[in-house]
Structure 1
C-alpha cells in the first residue's frame, strides 16, 4: 500500500466512517495485478503519432488534421457530433493531451508539443507505460483533489459501483465541505472533485461506461486502480536538521493522553497547529489557539487582538517553556506543550506517547470520561447508542507512534 493512502486511512481511523472495510475488498495486501498493456493504447498511439514533436497552431492548439486523425484512430468519432477537427471543441482530444502532460508524457516547447524523455522511452513500451500511468494517479490538484482521487481509486479497486458516493462519505468524515455551498459533499460534488484527478484518465482508456453506472467497475479498471494504490515511490532522502523536542499532554484526562515529538526548529506556531493535531489524532475540523508568553495566537476572524501564528517559530521558544494549545473551543480540549530541548532530526516524528485521542465532538474531558465509562459497560442503557454514534470500535488505551508519525509528515507536506 502506498504511503499517502496509509496516511489517509490513519486519519479515517479516527472517524465515524465505515470506509476502512473497503481496504479488504480492494485486496491491496495481495500481489500486484498483471499489467494490461492494451488498456493504455490511447496514450501509446498519441506518443507514437507526435514522434519528436508536432507544431501547434498560432492559438496553441493541435493542428486540425491531427485532431481528426486522433478521433478516428481511437474510435472516438462514432456518435460524435460536429467536425471533430478543432481541439478546443473536441473534448476527448483536449483531455488526452492535457492528461498526457499531467502524466509527465508530453510538454510544450517553443510552440511544439513534444514527448518528454519519459514519454519517448515509453512510446514503444506499453507495459512500462501502464505501470507509469498507475504510478502517477491520481493527478490531484491540491490536497482536496489528492484525497478525493485516492478515495475514488480505493472504491474502484474494491469493485464498488458509484465510487463517487464513497468519495463523498470519506471526505465528509474528514470534515471537508462544498466550497460553493458550505454543505457536506454529495455524489455530484464528489464527481467534480475527481473529474480532473483520475476519472478522466479512466474514461479516455475506455474503462468506464456512464450507461452502466449501476454495474461494478470492469476488471481492467479494478486492476489499474489496484496498481495505482500499490505503487511505491523510492524513498526520498531527507537531510537531518535542527529540531525541537516537545512533550504534549492533554489536560484534565486521566489516565493521561500524551505525545513526545520532534518538529523542525523552523516550524511556526501555524505549522505546529497542524503537527499537534496530527500527533494527537485530531481531525483538524475545529478552531484552535495558542497561549504563549501571555499572548494568544490564532487565525480566527471574529476574535480581535490575536497574534499572528506565522510570526513565532519554535527556534525562538526557550528550552523549558510550557505553553498552552486549545483545540475545539466548544468542547475545550486544552493541552500543555513543554519544550524539552534541541536535537537533530530528519522530519516531524512522534517518538512516544500513550492512549488514544478522544473522539471528536465527545464533549470535552467530562464528556469523554462519561463516554469511556458507558462504552466499558455493555449493560448501560446508552451503551448501544454511543457505540452506534462512534461507528467503530474504540480502545482508549490504543496508540501507535508510527501512525502518528505518518500523519505528522502528511500534514507537513500539505495544508487543508
Structure 2
C-alpha cells in the first residue's frame, strides 16, 4: 500500500485542481485508477446496461488511497487544490517510516474505510475512534480469534444505537470488521487465517510504541506520582515510561498504577496550561491531550506537571520526572517499579472525605461505621488497610491497560 501512496503523492506533483466538493476530477480519477491499479471499474457494465461513472466518489479503491495520503500527512487540500506536504517529502524516501505513517493514519480514516450511502451506515465506522484503539490493544497481546474481534467491535458500537434488527446489524458490523482486517492484510500489518488474526512484527512494534513501549537504547523516563495532601502514608507510585507517549495514554497508565477505576473526567496542568480530553461535559479552555507527548510536557529531570482525576473529588497528583534512563533489552514498558499506600475508594469525597472514611472505619463504635463498611463493599473494616499497596495487582492492571 505504501507504494501506491508514494505513487499517488508523486502524481500530485506541484498540485492538482479538485472539484467544487473537494474531490478528484473525473478525468484525473480515470487516469489514477489505471496508474495505481486500484481495482475500481470505470463505467461498469451489468448485463446489457452500462452505468456511467459520474464522480470519483463512486470509486472506493481510489478514494481510499486519496484519503489515506491525506491522513498520513503526505498531501493536503488548500483553496480547492490538492498539494503535497513539503515536510513529508523525507517519508517518501524512507519505506519504514512511510509504512509506520500509513499504519498510524488508519485510525483517522473511518469515512474512507466505511463510506456512507443512502441505505446503510456502518456502526463500526460511526464508532471507529473507539473501536480502532481497542482492536490494537487486543491484538497487541498476540494471536486473537477473529470472532473475538468481531464481538469486541459489536460490544463497543451497539450500546450507542437502538437495535431494530440486532441479528442483521451484528452480521453487518462483523462484515465491516472483516473489511478492515482485509485492508490490514493488504498493507502487511496482519496475518489472517480463517480463525485467528495476528499483527506482523512491524505492526506490533508500531502499536507497542504507541502504547508506551520503547526499543532498547531509547530514552526512558523514571517518574514519581504522588497524591497531593495524602499522609500516613503518603500515596505514591514510581514508573518507567517512554517519553514518546501522548499524555492521554499517560492518563490510562496513571489510572492503572494508582488504582482508580477510570469513571471520571481528568485534567493535566502543564506550565499553567490545561490539557484534557475534549468533551462537551465541561466548559473549560483545554488543549487536546492526544496531541501532546510526555516529552513535551516534561522536558528535563526535575520538572513536574499536575494530574487531576475526578473533578468533583479533585484527586490531584504531582508527576515529577526523577531521571532519564535508557530502555533495556527484553523489557516491555511502562513498568511499575515501586509505590506505597492504598488507593482511596472512588467517590469518597476527596482527601477530606478519605480522612473521614479512615476515621470511621477505625472506630467500630462510630455511628457511620457499619454504613461505610457496606458502602465500600467490605466484609469488615479490617479488610481495608490504607498502608497496603497491592503491588502485583497494580502491575496486572497496568498490563491490562494496553
TM-score interval for Structure 1 and Structure 2 normalised by the shorter chain: 0.3 to 0.5
TM-score, structure 2 normalization: 0.45
TM-score, structure 1 normalization: 0.44
Relative contact order (alpha carbons < 8 A, sep ≥ 6): 1 or 2 greater?
A: 1
